Amino acid sequence: MARTIELSDKSAALLTRHAAAHGKSLQAWLEDLAIEKTQSDPRPKRGKARAAAQGILALQGQVKPDPEGWTVRQYIDHGRR
């Protein structure tokens, strides 16, 4: 299925130069680029988030309970009075 994408002349020229630098036609280079981007694994982003969450949980495990038993919200409200 062929689709038409409208680009400015400047963008089309830039993309054509990139395709030529890779030794491909514009259509072939764009197809390769689309395949590469859709097949890239998004898990590294999730891995970073998971690692950050685990780090936060580890830090929270080291936090000692408040000696007066106050919550963060109670401290905030107390400071507003």
Q: Does residue 65 sit within a domain?
A: yes
pTM over 0.85: no
Averaged confidence pLDDT in the chain: 86
- Please tell me the total count of domains within the chain: 1
Residue 81 has pLDDT above 70, yes or no: no
Q: What domain range includes position 40? A: 9-79
In a domain, 60, yes or no: yes
Query: How far apart, in Å, are the Cα atoms of 74 and each of 63, 79, 81?
Result: 17, 9, 11
Per the domain annotation, does 42 fall within a domain? Answer: yes
Residue 44: predicted pLDDT = 61
Residue 43: the pLDDT is 61
- Is 20 contained in some domain? yes
Q: Is residue 30 within 8 Å of residue 19, measured between CB atoms?
A: yes
Q: Assess if residue 1 is contained within a domain.
A: no
